[in-house]
Amino acid sequence: MSLPLLQLLDSACPTGAFSHSFGMETAIQEGSIVNSDGLLEWLTVYLQQGLAMTDGIALSLAYSYADAILENTTIWQNIAALDRRLYISKLARESRDGSVKIGKRYLDLVLQLYPEIPLQHYREQIRQHICTGNSCIVHAFVCVFLKETLESTISSYFYTSVNSLVQNAIRSMSLGQTEGQKVLRRMLPVIADTANGIAWKKPSIDGWHSNHIFQEIASMRHEHLYSRLFMS
């Protein structure tokens, strides 16, 4: 994994992920997550039953699209279709809006750091409301540009998604920094195994599905919490 990619994975990168819990805050306030074991279970389900078969498949497809984009510009039609599928796959409005906000900020950051990455057309599609904006697509382009492997592309995306939620859990429950790092350490083999499985199998769009219904419902209930730290 290259140093430029490590920079983008850092929690200090201004993508806005620190503002979103994607239903986790609801689970904490309602008592579904009360300790580090509960957080580990929640994150595992979120990754394996949610991200893996939606964002994971999208990363695999976007990686292949980004790799061929200079030779075949008609692939932008496939990217637009993938963008729409990513948007509508999130059942909760807060989850959809949160994903779009993070995706747009990630895109702006990448284009400022690496303007040579061919993502200007994607930004224009967003301005024309053809696309909504998604960090999966941006991340795939970045990793192809940095010559990262597909496995590294998927695992790095999963890592930063999980790490953001761990940091947000530390802010919203009785979980110290060290305990949070222990949870993250326990998640590393789960992240690696899940990413390796997707990179090896390269599942098609037909395998797209999501089973983390409880977490989507938690996202839907989030706006009705008495007090909130996060936007989703």
Per-residue pLDDT tens digits for 140-152: 999 999 999 999 9
**Concatenated DSSP letters for 194-216?**
HHHHHHHH---GGG-----HHHH
**So what's the pLDDT on residue 71?**
66
Q: Which long-range contacts (CB under 8 A, 24 or more apart) does 197-205 make?
A: 197/52, 198/52, 198/56, 198/57, 198/59, 198/60, 198/154, 199/60, 199/149, 199/150, 199/151, 199/154, 202/60, 202/150, 203/53, 203/56, 203/57, 203/60, 204/57, 205/57, 205/61, 205/85
Helix (H, G, I), strand (E, B) or coil at 158: helix
Reported as a single tens digit per residue, the pLDDT across 6-47 is 888 887 777 777 776 788 788 888 888 899 999 999 999 999
16: buried, middle or exposed (CB in 10 Å: 19+, 13-18, 0-12)? middle
Helix (H, G, I), strand (E, B) or coil at 112: helix
Show the 3-state SS of 4-38.
HHHHHHCCCCCCCHHHCCCCHHHHHHCCCCCCHHH
Report the C-alpha gap between 74 and 72 in whole angstroms: 5
**So what's the pLDDT on residue 230?**
62
Report the C-alpha gap between 180 and 170 in whole angstroms: 7
Fold (topology level) of 43-204: Urease accessory protein UreF (1.10.4190)
**So what's the pLDDT on residue 207?**
79
Is this structure's pTM higher than 0.85?
yes
CA 17 distance to own-chain centroid: 9
Q: How many CB atoms lie within 10 A of CB 231?
A: 17
Residues near 185 by beta carbon (within 8 Å), at least 6 away in sequence: none
pLDDT by residue for the chain (232 residues), tens digit each? 788 888 888 877 777 777 767 887 888 888 888 999 999 999 999 999 888 889 999 999 999 999 887 667 778 999 999 999 999 888 878 888 888 888 899 999 999 999 999 999 999 999 999 999 999 999 999 999 999 999 999 999 999 999 999 988 888 888 889 999 999 999 999 999 999 999 898 877 777 777 777 787 777 777 766 676 665 6
